[in-house]
Amino acid sequence: MRQLYCGMRIATGSLLHTNPGRVPPGMASVNGRFVVPRFVLRTSGVVLRDSLRHPRRVSYPVPAEYRAAAFALAHPGATVSGFGALALYGLPYLADAHDVVLISSKVRKKELGGQFSPTLTRQPLGPGETWHVVCRDEPIRVVAPAVAAAQALRLIRVGECAWPVVAPADEEVFVRAVQLVDACRRFLGIAPEAIAAASKGRVDNRWLASVLKASSVLADSPKETEMRLLAGKVARNYGLELQEQVEFFDRGELVTRADLAFPEPRVALYYDGANHDDPGRRIKDTRIDLYLTSIAWQPLRYATNMLGGMPKHLAVVLEERGCARFDGRKI
């Protein structure tokens, strides 16, 4: 978790280089003033996938933190807001597919940006809602962390910012909002109370209250959040307790930490991201699974393309281990 404070230095500037006029080999343009090494660019498949959900089908190969810094340095006096601000603060997820929005008193009406330019808008900010960070030894105006989270939640709420989630159509916005709050709490240390206070006048209070209630500080990724919300529904159907980040020890030594666990039927859940495809990691995962099995626990591992079928599969496993639904329905 990062310690955030007004005036903090950000590392983004170390890879943000002045554009010499002609983009050098191995570099990619951010805007007219700056370039970044090509190795920081997002993969083409992810960029294409995200562009299909962008309201104007804009593609963003350059991650949001570099665009936010470059655009802010090119617009002195403007304030980075929303997802761009969260990216500057170090949020590792969810921000890269969206516009960088700068609040500026120099524009009369909203000017939509794109791949090489920010969206510019006028927007009132209250006392204490503006911070600054230091990039390349220059100050960048940025909204305070909780304000940035509130602004991002508003964009999610109105459908301007979206990404793929496993959820019924009428729950997708809610799931995205919980993912954002989870990430802000886990990686930036933004308290739910601060988000609630900053959201007054920006986000519907009742909707926000339900999002904050469903959030957690323990999710290590948005997909873990997604898995928790799906597993939570199954837990309620079976009247079971669902715990997060459950640790298992053998002779006093930590063996594993399950992302989620059902203590009573002894079922442990893991979300396995792309890093689990590494051969060495696979061996470690196999050893963990063998250990859990040896102490009568059932380990279950899910990847991105498996979450859609997780609730039904999990229900089968729970019933095999003697659990019954409250309503008596069979799978």
What six digits make up the tokens of 57? 């089908």
Q: Using the predicted structure, report yes or no on whether residue 104 has a pLDDT greater than 60.
A: yes
Q: Is residue 104 within 8 Å of residue 120, measured between CB atoms?
A: yes
In a domain, 3, yes or no: no
Which among 214, 239, 257 is the end of a domain? Answer: 214
Q: Is residue 210 within 8 Å of residue 201, measured between CB atoms?
A: no
Instruction: Indicate whether 178 and 251 sit together in one domain.
Output: no
Q: Using the predicted structure, report yes or no on whether residue 328 has a pLDDT greater than 70.
A: no
Instruction: Indicate whether 210 and 227 sit together in one domain.
Output: no
What number is the average pLDDT over the span 291-313?
95
In a domain, 329, yes or no: no
Instruction: Indicate whether 16 and 124 sit together in one domain.
Output: yes
**Nearest-angstrom CA–CA distance, 69 and 9:** 12
Listed range (54-63, 85-94, 252-261, 267-276) with the worst mean pLDDT: 267-276
Sequence-ordered strand ranges (E) for the chain: 17-18, 27-29, 34-37, 79-80, 101-103, 119-121, 130-135, 138-143, 243-250, 253-262, 267-271, 298-302
In a domain, 1, yes or no: no
pLDDT digits (tens, 9 = 90+) for 175-228: 999 999 999 999 999 999 999 999 999 999 999 999 999 999 999 999 999 999
**Contacts for 238 with CB less than 8 Å, ≥ 6 apart:** 315, 318, 323, 324, 325, 326
In a domain, 296, yes or no: yes
**Which CATH number fits the domain that encloses residue 243?**
3.40.960.10
Which among 186, 214, 242 is the end of a domain? Answer: 214
pLDDT at 330: 60
Q: Using the predicted structure, report yes or no on whether residue 319 has a pLDDT greater than 70.
A: yes
Average pLDDT, the chain: 95
Which band of pLDDT confidence, cut at 50, 70 and 90, is reported for residue 279? confident
Q: Using the predicted structure, report yes or no on whether residue 20 has a pLDDT greater than 90.
A: no
Burial class (CB in 10 A: 0-12, 13-18, 19+), 329: exposed
CA angle 64, 98, 305 (to 5 degrees): 100
How many structural domains comprise the chain? Answer: 2
Instruction: Indicate whether 201 and 227 sit together in one domain.
Output: no
**Nearest-angstrom CA–CA distance, 52 and 233:** 29
Which among 183, 214, 245 is the end of a domain? Answer: 214
Instruction: Indicate whether 204 and 275 sit together in one domain.
Output: no
pLDDT at 97: 97
pLDDT at 304: 82
Q: Using the predicted structure, report yes or no on whether residue 310 has a pLDDT greater than 70.
A: yes
In a domain, 23, yes or no: yes
pLDDT digits (tens, 9 = 90+) for 42-93: 999 999 999 999 999 999 999 999 999 999 999 999 999 999 999 999 999 9
Instruction: Indicate whether 134 and 270 sit together in one domain.
Output: no
Instruction: Indicate whether 118 and 162 sit together in one domain.
Output: yes
What number is the average pLDDT over the span 235-261?
97
Instruction: Indicate whether 140 and 178 sit together in one domain.
Output: yes
Express as a percent the part of the chain with pLDDT over 70. Answer: 99
In a domain, 289, yes or no: yes
Which band of pLDDT confidence, cut at 50, 70 and 90, is reported for residue 331? low
The domain of 260 spans 222-320
Instruction: Indicate whether 54 and 193 sit together in one domain.
Output: yes
What number is the average pLDDT over the span 143-156?
98
Instruction: Indicate whether 210 and 228 sit together in one domain.
Output: no
In a domain, 6, yes or no: no
What number is the average pLDDT over the span 108-126?
95
Instruction: Indicate whether 112 and 150 sit together in one domain.
Output: yes
Sign of CA dihedral 149, 173, 101, 137: positive
Instruction: Indicate whether 203 and 63 sit together in one domain.
Output: yes
Burial class (CB in 10 A: 0-12, 13-18, 19+), 54: middle
In a domain, 90, yes or no: yes
